Amino acid sequence: MRKQIAAANWKMNLTLQQAEQLTNDLLSTNHKMGVEQLAILAVPFPYLTSIQARLKNNANMFVAAQNCAATKNGAYTGETSTEMLESIGVQYVLIGHSERREYYNETNSILTEKVNRAFENNIHPVFCCGESLNIREAGTQNSYVETQLKESLFHLNKDQMNGFIIAYEPIWAIGTGRTASSDQAQQMHEHIRNVIAIQFGDEIAASISILYGGSVKAANAADIFSKPDVDGGLVGGASLIAADFATIINSLK
């Protein structure tokens, strides 16, 4: 069975003290996870080791970096390499988040290199993809997302893709006042799984976890996660409230 995952993206929020308190609050909530369920907290770089230490006795909870460098090392001031992340025990990293693509001009080719660096240092990528409002209105979202996958992931082998994590972000439904339905989420997740199946085979496609990243909240998580090709969520604002994120964890299949 593929992993069911509740991933939190704290983005550029919280002081260290607030981050530690949020983690403590989350750990004290009434959340339960089975063997095939995970919670991943993508926290700001300065807090990785502190939050990781607080999670050390929780077998199903991990920290993730929110980004990594496309290069191995060298004169790249302000960058953080996957070698550095591995050295402090980080096992997951977000790659290609919509904000990184939009604000920092991260192209599919750059993300290819980031995926490669993650695998070189034994870190699991959480690869983000998704379309903007103009793409959705043009009705070309399927081909657009397919291109994102092809140009950044299709060079990988089956072993690397086995159990891979993809997060689908309908950018048009985040902070726009528009709402993506659980059926729309299922349609794109099914399409993503089919694209992977054509390239890597049905067995690999069945193994990948596809998370939904479109304004998942405590109130809608159970409905969204009930869809057959939705394997959890990449959660923004709701992950900053311990009780809400605990509810989202408990909504996993």
Which among 99, 106, 131, 169 is annotated as catalytic? 169
Q: Is 169 in the active site?
A: yes
The answer to whether residue 251 scores a pLDDT higher than 90 is yes
User: What mean pLDDT value characterizes the chain?
Assistant: 96
Number of domains in the chain: 1
Mean pLDDT of the 36-57 span: 97
Q: Is 124 in the active site?
A: no
Which among 97, 106, 131, 189 is annotated as catalytic? 97
State the CATH number of the domain containing residue 66.
3.20.20.70
Tens digits of residue pLDDT in 110-168: 999 999 999 999 999 999 999 999 999 999 999 999 999 999 999 999 999 999 999 99
What's the pLDDT band for 212 if we cut at 50, 70, 90?
A: very high
Task: Tell me what pLDDT residue 174 has.
Answer: 81
The answer to whether residue 175 scores a pLDDT higher than 90 is no
Range of the domain at 61: 4-250
| 155 vs 174: CA distance, rounded Å | 30
Among 62, 19, 13, 16, smallest CA distance to 37 is for: 62
The answer to whether residue 177 scores a pLDDT higher than 70 is no
| 250 vs 204: CA distance, rounded Å | 26
Model pTM score: 0.97
